[in-house]
Amino acid sequence: MRCGHCGAVNRVPRSKLEQGLEAKCGRCKQPLQAAGSAPWVVTDSTFAADVERSPLPVLVDAWAAWCGPCRMLAPTIEELAAELEGKVRVAKLDVDANPATASRFDIRSIPTLLVVKGGREVDRIVGVQPKHAIRARLERFVGG
């Protein structure tokens, strides 16, 4: 399981999860969450594996800690991650900490939401949008 906080990959025996034990990251000691239950944190080094090679469409939230609109959008992104579990993967990319990916995708303002399917960007939403509008845009890429 990849840690949503620091991005470290952790080996977690399925038997321990089935026993109800809480898995923690070996690097940062934060609790690990199952895929889809919360947005994944992606970095310059994990973007290709976590986003571009994902079998599911990925909604990438490009954000920064100092950005007020990004903080306003964060609860919506978390809700979408939970609601679309198994259909769409949701990831967060801190543009300040990951300038190579932000530059590669020409992210000039934040928040920017990228929809990546089959390894390429298929849609882009710039600015704060209501949840129903984001979800409607994502529905075009679910399945098929």
Catalytic residue flag (residue 67): yes
3, 25, 28, 67: which is the annotated catalytic residue?
67
DSSP string, 44-113: TTTHIIIIIT-SS-EEEEEE-TT-HHHHHHHHHHHHHHHHTTTT-EEEEEETTT-HHHHHHTT--SSSEE
Catalytic residue flag (residue 28): no
Contact between 115 and 57 (Cβ < 8 Å): yes
Alpha-carbon span 22 to 124, nearest angstrom: 36
For residue 52, give the nearest of 9, 93, 109 by alpha carbon.
93
Alpha-carbon span 110 to 62, nearest angstrom: 6
Which amino acids are annotated catalytic? 67, 70
